[in-house]
Structure 1
Amino acid sequence: MAKILALKSSVLGDYSQSSKLIDQFLATQDADVTVRDLAANPVPVLDGELVGMLRPAGELSARQQEAKILSDTLIKEVKEADLLVVGAPMYNFAIPTQLKTWFDFVARAGETFSYTETGPVGLITNTKALIVSTRGGLHKDGGSDFEVPYLKTLLGFLGISDIEVVYAEGLAMGDEMAKTQLDNAASQLANYSL
């Protein structure tokens, strides 16, 4: 059975359009699904102390040990997933902080990427990604879309190159626009093949 790891990062809870789209998609999948709601259960911000979690075990503080265990768990989840579904509402032209902190705990040298003489090489090569991007305005393929290029760069850095993006834009531009966009996104997700 296929494994899906779904990341929700909206702070809007039950009002989140990206989370609703993900839920609709997951309801149609015959798969082993893990959902991480990064707003409800945030990954800690990587700070000066936590960045030291990669030192030898005997040298770690209790907080660093907890962070290392969490990082190991998050990495295991994404490595085992056939599909990574990323809920990415656009906040101030970029991804939510909650999603950024997940990437900070997953991007680890020797675990999800390695440096070589020719540059970095991603180590997660068996996972596909599906980005569900919701936005209040219209940004796709424009100079104000820093979100999707950033996500594609990060995922590629980890070795995930098979990436599809589903957009729902203009959600703050009137009910008719929002409905059309959400219906189109739901239709694209319904037709997505794992």
Structure 2
Amino acid sequence: MAHILHLDSSPRGDRSISRTLTKEFITDWKATYPKDTVTYRDLGHYPVPAVDEPWIAASFTPAESRTTELAVAIKTSDELIDEFLAADHYVFGVPMFNFSIPSTLKAYIDQILRVNRTFVVNNDGYEGLAKDKKMLIITARGGTFQNGTPFAQYDFQEPYLRTAFSFIGITDITFIHADNLAAGDEVRQQSLTAARAAIEKVVATW
């Protein structure tokens, strides 16, 4: 039995493509694996706080030495990391904003990439602590940024997410891009059909 952390980062509601597709994935997954459990976090509507100076001080202070102020400053980060590490699989919905990710997701990543919690520094450099897990990231993009296309160099979304999560040990990452969504109805439907076919494949093989 696996546990999934399902996370959406779009600020939109029912009109969100990324939310729609992650919901379809989770619905199909639960129908296929009814004993699996899911935790849901909605960053788009309920953002987490940004890192600030007390957070930084607390993260580099041993827990037993933290003042009440520092303990409060790091409390949300501890809760988010506990939730994150408890999962076996991750399903993230991520719209592309200005060639990258929403600020709400960046704030979340800043909260969970933390020394001695999700990575350590040793004689060999950095070692991620979130190992042996799988991640699916479903994106929604107005254009196309696939390798070999004219705008591939503008994609700071997938490379950043791969780097950030592989840094903490998650290297088995699958991307499904619902792209070209602003290219007209026919192209949009072709992209959504391809994304849904890819979702079905992941459900069957993950």
CA RMSD of aligned residues (A): 1.4
Matches within 5 A, 1:157-172: 157-172=167-182
Which one of the candidate residues 50, 59, 67 is aligned to 2:55?
A: 50
Deviations 1:78-113 (A, max 9, x none): 212111112111000001111111111111111100
* Alpha-carbon separation, structure 2, partners of 1:189 and 1:58: 45
* Alpha-carbon separation, structure 2, partners of 1:65 and 1:178: 48
Query: Unpaired segments of 5 or more residues in structure 1?
Result: none
Deviations 1:42-85 (A, max 9, x none): 11011223322323464242xx4344222122112221211111
* Alpha-carbon separation, structure 2, partners of 1:25 and 1:7: 12
* Alpha-carbon separation, structure 2, partners of 1:66 and 1:186: 42
Question: How many corresponding residue pairs?
Answer: 192
CA distance 1:50–1:16, change in 2 (3 Å): same
CA distance 1:15–1:66, change in 2 (3 Å): farther
Match of 2:160 in 1: 150
Q: CA deviation at 1:157?
A: 0.4
One-letter code aligned to 1:111: R
CA distance 1:71–1:135, change in 2 (3 Å): same
Q: CA deviation at 1:118?
A: 2.4
1:40 aligns with 2:48: no
Deviations 1:123-157 (A, max 9, x none): 11021111111100111221011100000000100
1:59 aligns with 2:60: no
What TM-score do the two structures reach when normalised by structure 1?
A: 0.93
CA distance 1:66–1:39, change in 2 (3 Å): farther
Contact 1:79 1:126 in 2 (8 A): no
Q: Choose 1 or 2 for highest CA Rg.
A: 2
* Alpha-carbon separation, structure 2, partners of 1:18 and 1:82: 21
* Alpha-carbon separation, structure 1, partners of 2:73 and 2:176: 32
One-letter code aligned to 1:166: I
Match of 2:25 in 1: 25
Match of 2:184 in 1: 174
Aligned-pair identity in percent equals 38
